[in-house]
């Protein structure tokens, strides 16, 4: 009997062009991480459940409903990571990364995350994130650098129509004053909230801001504004962040209702949203400061800040907006075609020349009709066909056909690499 098994709901196989988009996103981010002096950290894909339940917050959707939690054969409770920060903090504390002269510790990660959510466009059960954590300083300049780095990633990827939202949700002390007023405002409106939010109202009303029900979010947004309740020190900190962002010429908008969905955030929070996406799934990335989390994990009492970017959503939007992956020369793919087996030697010469020059290329192994080869080249996303026939062999040349405009050029072997790069600039 044949097996007819699909990938699990909310997961997908990634191949072909999608891999090229992801490679481009990851390498663009990696280059920027290097420039900002961040080092990579790889943590396990699963952790003991408390790593997430205690840090992300018991009342969050993630902990309440979305974690892939299971018991191993010894009865230990484990959870597939739903996000990166908690694991990075656990790893930094466990591996004693905090010395006295190395602060802030600056780490980045790229990995798959798992949340049992209702799958829809831009929302998966397994998805990929890249993120950074800078631990050991509460200097507002660091906040601005982190936000600048987030904005730089999207700029380098070729996005233009994005908004960077920034807010401060204060420290634990000044947030208390806000929550008191917020509860007062919400109590008479409790009947209009969803069941989950009615529970949140008593235990953790901030989570109403990121409820999946739009009506609950709206009600929260129309209430008192967190920034008005900031203590003096949080206020000064936030001014430091916005002043530094302005000095760095980073465009941002203050959003007084931005809180973000994790309990561990303090002070600065931020999000980068696309104006081309539906508002339920328009966040491409976001983050914030978490000044109390490291101590909570048994580490030193040390402030920190980080962000995470959704790789799948970013790749999806790049494709929708027609933003290419890679520079022109990185995107180029050449298909070397010859119909004549006697020309194998010349074919290998050209193949070596192109590959040694960093041009991605392939050859045809079976000679079929030229028409069939063009069809195949188009199907496999080649941009240029390099044709080698008797005439080309005799003249030590190559005929290039740009598959976008079908223009054709016969070029000497010596100049062919340069010509390919020139065509690449127009693809
Ligand atoms: P968060 O970890 O919730 O702050 O999310 C950071 C980014 O990860 C979001 O802005 C999304 O781009 C992405 N993301 C979060 N959850 C999902 C999901 N279920 N599917 C796809 N991308 C997601």
Looking at the predicted structure, is the pLDDT value of residue 77 above 70?
yes
Nearest residue (by CA) to ligand 1, atom 10, is 285
Looking at the predicted structure, is the pLDDT value of residue 416 above 70?
yes
Average pLDDT over residues 68-86: 97
Q: From the CA of 82, give the closest atom in ligand 1.
A: 2
User: Ligand 1 mean position to 109 CA, how many Å?
Assistant: 15
Residues 87-108 have pLDDT tens digits of 999 999 999 999 878 999 999 9
Average pLDDT over residues 120-138: 97
Looking at the predicted structure, is the pLDDT value of residue 202 above 90?
no
Q: How far is CA 63 from the centre of its chain?
A: 22
Q: Are strands 360-363 and 253-254 parallel, antiparallel or unpaired?
A: unpaired
Looking at the predicted structure, is the pLDDT value of residue 327 above 80?
no
Average pLDDT over residues 33-48: 97
Looking at the predicted structure, is the pLDDT value of residue 79 above 70?
yes
Residues 267-300 have pLDDT tens digits of 999 999 998 877 767 899 999 999 999 999 999 9
- C-beta of residue 170 within 8 angstroms of C-beta of residue 269: no
Supply the pLDDT for residue 427.
57
User: Ligand 1 mean position to 115 CA, how many Å?
Assistant: 9
Nearest residue (by CA) to ligand 1, atom 20, is 123
Average pLDDT over residues 216-231: 93
Supply the pLDDT for residue 99.
86
Q: From the CA of 117, give the closest atom in ligand 1.
A: 19
Supply the pLDDT for residue 13.
98
Calculate what percentage of the chain has a pLDDT beyond 70. Answer: 99
Reported confidence tier of residue 426, pLDDT bands at 50, 70, 90: low
Q: From the CA of 272, give the closest atom in ligand 1.
A: 10
Nearest residue (by CA) to ligand 1, atom 14, is 310
Supply the pLDDT for residue 367.
77
Q: How far is CA 91 from the centre of its chain?
A: 21
User: Ligand 1 mean position to 141 CA, how many Å?
Assistant: 26
Reported confidence tier of residue 4, pLDDT bands at 50, 70, 90: confident
Q: Rounded CA gap, 18 and 78, in Å?
A: 31
**Does an H or E element contain 325, and which?**
none
pTM: 0.86
Residues 136-171 have pLDDT tens digits of 999 999 999 999 999 999 999 989 889 999 999 999
- C-beta of residue 336 within 8 angstroms of C-beta of residue 386: yes
Higher-pLDDT residue of 421, 385? 385
Angle formed by the axes of helices 416-424 and 344-356, to 10°? 60
User: Ligand 1 mean position to 307 CA, how many Å?
Assistant: 11
Q: From the CA of 84, give the closest atom in ligand 1.
A: 2
Looking at the predicted structure, is the pLDDT value of residue 346 above 70?
yes
Average pLDDT over residues 52-78: 93
Nearest residue (by CA) to ligand 1, atom 11, is 310
Indicate left, alpha or beta for 16 from its phi (over 0: left) and psi (-120 to 50: alpha). left
User: Ligand 1 mean position to 182 CA, how many Å?
Assistant: 27
User: Ligand 1 mean position to 173 CA, how many Å?
Assistant: 29
Q: Tell me what the pLDDT averaged over the chain comes to.
A: 93
Ligand 1 — pocket residues by CB below 6 A?
A: 83, 115, 117, 122-124, 127, 129, 261, 283-286, 308, 310, 312-313
User: Ligand 1 mean position to 310 CA, how many Å?
Assistant: 5
Supply the pLDDT for residue 366.
85
Nearest residue (by CA) to ligand 1, atom 16, is 123
Among 308, 311, 315, 317, say which to mutate for ligand 1: greatest number of ligand atoms within 8 Å of CB.
308
Place of tokens 């119909």: 339
Q: Rounded CA gap, 289 and 308, in Å?
A: 12
Nearest residue (by CA) to ligand 1, atom 18, is 123
The tokens describing 13, both together, are 């196989």
Higher-pLDDT residue of 415, 366? 415
Supply the pLDDT for residue 273.
95
């Amino acid at each position: 009997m044949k097996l007819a098994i699909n990938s699990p709901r909310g997961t997908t196989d990634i191949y072909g062009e999608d891999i090229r988009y992801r490679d481009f996103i990851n390498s663009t981010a990696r280059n920027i991480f290097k420039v900002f002096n961040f080092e990579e950290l790889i943590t396990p894909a699963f952790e003991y459940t408390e790593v997430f339940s205690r840090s992300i917050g018991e009342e969050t959707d993630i902990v309440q409903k979305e974690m892939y939690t299971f018991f191993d054969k010894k009865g230990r409770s484990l959870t597939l990571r739903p996000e990166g920060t908690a694991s990075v903090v656990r790893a930094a504390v466990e591996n004693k990364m905090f010395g006295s002269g190395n602060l802030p510790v600056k780490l980045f990660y790229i990995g798959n995350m798992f949340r049992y959510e209702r799958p829809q466009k831009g929302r998966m059960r397994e998805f990929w994130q890249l993120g950074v954590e800078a631990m050991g300083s509460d200097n507002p300049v660091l906040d601005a650098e982190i936000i600048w780095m987030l904005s730089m990633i999207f700029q380098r990827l070729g996005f233009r129509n994005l908004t960077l939202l920034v807010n401060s949700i204060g420290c634990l002390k000044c947030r208390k004053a806000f929550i008191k007023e917020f509860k007062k405002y919400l109590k008479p409106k409790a009947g209009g909230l969803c069941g989950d939010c009615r529970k949140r109202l008593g235990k953790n009303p901030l989570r109403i801001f990121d409820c999946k029900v739009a009506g609950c979010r709206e009600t929260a947004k129309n209430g008192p504004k967190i920034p008005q309740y900031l203590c003096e020190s949080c206020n000064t900190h936030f001014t430091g962040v916005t002043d530094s962002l302005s000095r760095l010429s980073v465009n941002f908008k203050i959003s007084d209702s931005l809180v973000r969905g994790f309990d561990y955030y303090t002070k600065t929070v931020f999000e980068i949203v696309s104006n081309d996406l539906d508002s339920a799934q328009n966040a491409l990335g976001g983050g914030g400061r978490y000044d109390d989390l490291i101590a909570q994990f048994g580490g030193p009492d040390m402030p920190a800040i980080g962000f995470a970017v959704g790789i799948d959503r970013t790749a999806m939007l790049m494709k929708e907006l027609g933003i290419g992956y890679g520079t022109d020369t990185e995107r180029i793919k050449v298909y070397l075609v010859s119909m004549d087996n006697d020309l194998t030697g010349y074919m290998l010469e050209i193949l070596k020349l192109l590959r040694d020059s960093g041009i991605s290329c392939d050859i045809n192994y079976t000679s079929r009709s030229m028409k069939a080869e063009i069809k195949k080249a188009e199907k496999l996303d080649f941009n240029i066909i390099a044709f080698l026939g008797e005439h080309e062999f005799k003249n030590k040349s190559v005929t290039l056909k740009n598959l976008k405009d079908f223009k054709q050029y016969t070029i000497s072997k010596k100049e062919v690499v340069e010509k390919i790069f020139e065509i690449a600039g127009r693809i």
